[in-house]
A and B are shown apart, each in its own frame.
Chain A
Amino acid sequence: MKLTKLIVIATVLLLACQLFAQTRVQKLAAQAEATGQLQKLMPTSAPHHVRSFLWIGGGFTPGQPPTKPANCNKTGFCPPSIAIAYGTPNVIGGNGGAGITIGITDAFHYAAAEADLNFFSTDMGLPACTKANGCFKQVDQNGGQNFCGSDSGWETETMLDLEWAHAMAPNAKIVLVEGCTNDDSDLNTAIQTAVKIEGANFVSNSWGEDEFPEETQEDAAYVGLGVPLLFASGDSGAPAIYPCQSVYATCVGGTQITLDANFHRTNEVGWAGSGGGCSLYEAAPTYQTSNGVTLCSPQRAAPDVAAIGGSLVYIYDSGNGGYGRVTGTSLATPVTTAVLANVEAARRSFGKADFPQIIGDQLYHPYKSFNTPGSNYTYFYYDVITGNNRHQAGPGYDLVTGLGVSYPVNMANRFFGLQ
């Protein structure tokens, strides 16, 4: 009886101490915030845990035989439906992204990544993408083979990224760079490795976190990499998240698409979950302001572009039970990356230069003449005019789908394509 009494007293005292400490920290933080000293209390080097932007829509039933979904394109899209809808096989000179290396960063290690990618490829009629044929490479965040632990959620994210990048650019090489953890510092290291060591021409990043005051300092991790870095805009509607809001990133929002029996697009609308909005901390880049996107000025507006990211697609993830249906801006990001890989391959075939890191200059330029008789904006983009993520989509640039969904055939055109 006495012992119980002691335990109760000790517990109450402990809780009281915790409450006092918590209140004290909050009070200090509030004081610091009021006096502009917040940075001193929060070390800028502290890692932030990022999350992937993935919605599970069913499937993934452990114990079931791993057969191709019988209801492909009815309950979830399978390749090549979205490639046909977006026209990537028709990009003159695109050749499925041949010659281009797509970097994909994800957190933790998935040992069956290569096997799952090829199970999916075989089932879906895509070319094999293996380490043996030089198409696929899997490295740790430093470019080696010292992999860290696994995480079942991130492995699904990884397979979505790999399988749909491959579906949209079947001849591109893919290098998967795995951050040791989901700390942003690890994943930023993975981005650096993808570009500097593995030679990626684009890096697809389906992760992020809420904006924070020091994010403009964290932008230093992205400066000078020289290739486009694509980030997911988030899956909770407005606002958009970071690093998507970085001026050094290309921010990708999500749409819901409707296709006819021949996989031709009949409609595409902004997804309610698509992250978007005005940045709290990032200033509007000149590629927005000089081309007529001043919706958030003097702050950056996001997303930049959009792609399927609210309609379900099938992926294969043996670690979570095989085939399942997923969506989110985690889908839109590798899809858009692969679309641009097709465009870049075409540009190379015509002797044009690769896209720079700040691809916003190219992406936004067609918008400069929006609403004028000479505008060719709709030649480059499918203008998504409906949808609401707390912001309303409409004609031209909006905070749900940005500029809209790319027309890769036109973006890649030798004569009339992106500059």
Chain B
Amino acid sequence: MALTKEVTQDKIEIVGDFKSVQVRTKTAVMEDGVELSSGFHRHVVTAGDDYSAESAELQAICGVVHTDAVVAAYAAHVEASSPE
């Protein structure tokens, strides 16, 4: 009858031209290894974001996909999308 909480990043997706990294974090309450309930929390790491506080797996992914060229291209996209 041991209740435990398991937090996992169960879905990581890289989407779009600017390699946005969509992360789904699952929090599950388990009883003796059997899931009783769970919920999802989402966030997105976009090119240029500080990802130093993310998980080691996410840091590795962002380090690969968020190249200087992608970061610069995304910054230019945001600037171009910003009206005065």
- Answer yes or no: do A and B interact: no
